[in-house]
């Protein structure tokens, strides 16, 4: 792993530090997103320490669970969906990631990550709903979280679909370069998340 990629991956520490700095002041929804970032940091460290394909796949699958559940919780909370519908979404995501994990555990195949594309598509739709609904008052802090998440998932999904259709020995260098763009997207996303925590509104205090 190159030094540039390592720096990009570990830059996830930046928004985590901003989260810790504002921990006592902000709403619990932001803490859920902070937990997602912590799981991402742990995943990056594990991937740097353990390079075996099997460990990488299983670690990525476990991260998918935390990522999908945390982001789903945040998006649904901002939409204001009723608890019963939230539970259905969370159960659906749990089932999909469980299928992914079980399949990986038995086959160690990258192909199972196609299941995760469905999850990313659902999250993109929910994110766009957050941004486009006239009934929701989405503040700048929320936008600084939603927009980078949408951009990342759209790019990831399109790239994964293209790899399924076009990947070969001849196209491998092209896809390596295309995947390297994810590091730039992640770095810019971490800057955006940092500002989101910094500008997050203070939590309401009840008497």
Please identify which residue in the block is written with the tokens 């790239």: 159
Domains and CATH numbers, the chain: 3-198 (1.20.1070)
Long-range contacts of 127-133 (CB under 8 A, 24+ apart): 127/75, 127/153, 129/79, 130/75, 130/78, 130/79, 133/79
Q: Which pLDDT score is estimated for 200? A: 93
pLDDT tens-digit readout, 108-136: 666 656 778 888 999 999 999 999 887 77
Q: Which pLDDT score is estimated for 68? A: 92
Residue 101 near residue 65, CB atoms below 8 Å = yes
**Whole-number percent of the chain with pLDDT over 70:** 91
pLDDT tens-digit readout, 37-77: 999 999 888 888 876 766 777 788 888 889 999 999 999 99
Which residues does 61 contact at the CB level (< 8 Å), separation at least 6? Answer: 97, 100, 101, 104, 112
Q: Please list the residues that pair with 26 across neighbouring strands.
A: 202
CB count in 10 Å sphere of residue 6? 13
What are the percentages of helix, strand and coil residues in the chain, rounded to 5?
A: 80, 0, 20
198 pLDDT exceeds 80? yes
Q: Which pLDDT score is estimated for 205? A: 56
Mean pLDDT of 160-184: 86
pTM of the model: 0.90
Average pLDDT over all residues of the chain: 86
Q: Which pLDDT score is estimated for 6? A: 76
Q: At 117, list the tokens.
A: 């594309």
Q: Which pLDDT score is estimated for 207? A: 40
| Longest distance between any two alpha carbons in the chain, whole Å | 65
- With residue 80 as reference, give the H or E element that holds it: none
Q: Which pLDDT score is estimated for 206? A: 47
DSSP state of 26: B
């Amino acid at each position: 792993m190159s030094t540039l990629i390592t720096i990009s991956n570990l830059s996830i520490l930046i928004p985590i530090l901003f989260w810790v700095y504002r921990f006592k002041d902000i709403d619990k929804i932001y803490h859920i997103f902070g937990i997602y970032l912590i799981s991402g940091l742990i995943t990056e460290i594990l991937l740097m320490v353990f390079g075996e394909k099997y460990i990488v796949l299983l670690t990525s699958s476990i991260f998918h669970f935390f990522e999908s559940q945390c982001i789903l919780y945040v998006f649904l909370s901002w939409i204001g969906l009723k608890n019963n519908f939230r539970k259905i979404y969370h159960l659906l995501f749990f089932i999909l990631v469980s299928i992914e994990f079980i399949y990986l555990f038995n086959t160690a195949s990258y192909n199972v990550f196609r299941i995760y594309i469905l999850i990313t598509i659902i999250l993109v739709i929910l994110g766009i709903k957050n941004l486009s609904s006239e009934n929701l008052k989405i503040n700048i802090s929320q936008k600084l979280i939603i927009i980078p998440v949408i951009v990342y998932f759209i790019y990831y999904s399109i790239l994964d679909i293209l790899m399924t259709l076009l990947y070969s020995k001849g196209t491998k260098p092209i896809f390596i370069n295309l995947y390297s763009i994810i590091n730039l997207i992640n770095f810019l996303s971490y800057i955006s998340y940092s500002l989101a925590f910094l500008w997050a509104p203070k939590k309401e205090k009840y008497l």
